Amino acid sequence: MKGIFPIDKFRELRTPFYYYDTKVLRDTLACIKSEVAKYERFDVHYAMKANVNPKVLKIISESGLGADCVSGGEIRAAIKAKIPAHKIVFAGVGKADWEIELGLECDIFCFNVESIPELQVINELAGAQGKVANVVFRINPNVGAHTHANITTGLAENKFGISMRDMEEVIDVAQEMKNVKFVGLHFHIGSQILDMGDFTALCNRVNELQDRLEARRILVEHINVGGGLGIDYNHPNRQAIPDFKEYFRVYDEHLKLRPYQTLHFELGRSIVGQCGSLISKVLYVKKGANKQFAILDAGMTDLIRPALYQAYHKIENITSDAPIQTYDVVGPICESSDVFGKAVDLNGVKRGDLIALRSAGAYGEIMASRYNCRELPLGYASEELL
């Protein structure tokens, strides 16, 4: 829909760039806040890996969400955005010593731990600072998710988490250490999940594991079920806000949360995915033997998801009302995989037209690279341009 973009302002900017509709973002956050308020002990952390644009983070911080970080750099970004340290959880299968030390220095809420060797390092580094670190163990629940193979994380074959059979052993080891405190369990089965049955399956598995621990009189104060809720890439205008109502209801109905427990979520894509679009300019229209190409100044360096995951993004020509034609929409990178979409129906394309690649607020700008010595794309919030 051309009307949602300030096209006159866009013509003044160097392309490609990311455009963030802050109304969509604020409406999404308001919906989350409203739905979570229905449940007494639900706590949401924003998954920083989705997008750390400072303008986006500022709005998220103002909403009161915590942060889910997977690197020391993300911890720094969260702190800079004024997200309270006591709302920061630190996950990741390979935490470097300096990152752990940073988390300890900042007094973050907890470390999501993925192995005994990592636990031992955290205990040692916490001892050196004279602190006790809260630790939550990430358990691999061996629950599949209906999503792309590269973004499923909860199967036994994945690198993430501690196996279910080792859960009690790891907890026992932690309880013998002086500088860590076991406070919870963490799970995450994947990303871009639209089948609520996957989350129900996770609830059932968590219930089984909790029963096992209670049989040994081990009580778990915090349960973290990760994120994973997907967005509608096909219809960004029709469904700008994901079905948070149903998402949270599934956990309320199927997870047997104890009266003393807090349930944590780590949502990323579902918060920022629909607010962002990559705006690019058409460089050339090239006629091939049996097709035509719309060649953009944006490439896989600016939005890698189509090349990496064969991901779909709705593509719109926002400066043309010409009759529909069919194009392969490609970028300028010297790689055959630098393709945004094949056989895409667009309003007739000419040099200089502006193209919007929609639903690019998550894993777009944050994954941009300087391959081919290209400049990184800038990011603009809608309130800057209106």
Q: Which domains does the chain have, with CATH numbers?
A: 2-17+274-385 (2.40.37.10), 22-272 (3.20.20.10)
Q: Hey, what amino acid is at 110?
A: C
- Give the pLDDT of residue 106: 98
- Give the pLDDT of residue 29: 98
- Give the pLDDT of residue 1: 47
Helix (H, G, I), strand (E, B) or coil at 135: strand
- Give the pLDDT of residue 289: 84
In this prediction, the residues of the chain whose per-residue pLDDT falls under 70 are 1-3, 144-160
The token pair that represents 241 in the structure block:
């806000």
Burial class (CB in 10 A: 0-12, 13-18, 19+), 181: middle
- Give the pLDDT of residue 147: 45
The reported pTM is: 0.94
- Give the pLDDT of residue 158: 53
- Spell out a b/e string for 346-366, using b for 16 or more CB atoms within 10 Å of the CB, else e: bbebeeebbbbbbbbbbbbbb
- Give the pLDDT of residue 156: 45
Sign of CA dihedral 313, 316, 317, 318: negative
Nearest to 330 by CA among 299, 305, 303: 299
First to last CA, the chain: 17
Outline where 142-243 has alpha helix (H): 167-175, 196-215
- Spell out a b/e string for 318-345, using b for 16 or more CB atoms within 10 Å of the CB, else e: bbbeeeebebbbbbbbeeeebbbbeebe
